[in-house]
């Protein structure tokens, strides 16, 4: 397991720079079903990667903060948001969720990929996520 910010960042940078590009332009089906039932507001996408769900949420009218430890993924997410015309409703910020957590209150907090090969303090991250809603 990878334990610190430097290693987590290095792992995810290598994943996004050398691995397959995970951009599909489609949100997770469970998120879509759930978010469709909510009034739009402010959303936080933890581990947003290349922004599939963040961009989709913004297209639905949400104001989305997407966070990830990979600057490569965040750069791609910002480009996808620009391509989709939703840059005014998206903000992408670097965070290692083991170390830092985005400030603010949100109407929706979304965390898809918590089964990371990088060591995560899941209980603390999810507790902070719950406090942010």
- Mean pLDDT by runs of 10 across the 133 residues of the chain is 59 74 77 92 94 96 96 94 98 89 94 71 81 89
pLDDT for res 42:
98
Residue 117 is classified by DSSP as S
pLDDT for res 1:
45
- Alpha-carbon separation of residue 46 from 6, 39, 94 (angstroms): 18, 20, 10
Q: Two tokens at 91?
A: 């903000």
pLDDT for res 19:
66
Q: Which domains does the chain have, with CATH numbers?
A: 5-19+41-131 (3.40.50.150)
pLDDT for res 14:
78
Closest by CA to 63, choosing from 111, 25, 101, 108, is: 108
What is the torsional sign of CA 16, 20, 23, 28? Answer: negative
- What global pTM score does this model have? 0.83
Residue 45, beta-bridge partner list: 66, 110
């Amino acid at each position: 397991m990878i334990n610190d910010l430097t290693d987590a960042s290095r792992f995810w940078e290598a994943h996004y720079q050398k691995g397959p590009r995970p951009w599909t332009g489609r949100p997770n089906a469970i998120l879509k079903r759930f978010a469709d039932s909510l009034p739009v507001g402010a959303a936080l996408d933890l581990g947003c990667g290349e922004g599939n769900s963040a961009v989709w949420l913004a297209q639905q009218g949400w104001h989305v903060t997407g966070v990830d430890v990979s600057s490569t993924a965040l750069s791609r997410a910002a480009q996808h948001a620009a391509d989709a015309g939703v840059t005014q409703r998206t903000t992408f910020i670097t965070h290692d969720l083991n170390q830092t957590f985005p400030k603010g209150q949100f109407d929706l907090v979304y965390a898809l990929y918590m089964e990371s090969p990088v060591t995560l303090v899941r209980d603390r991250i999810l507790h902070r996520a719950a406090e942010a809603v």
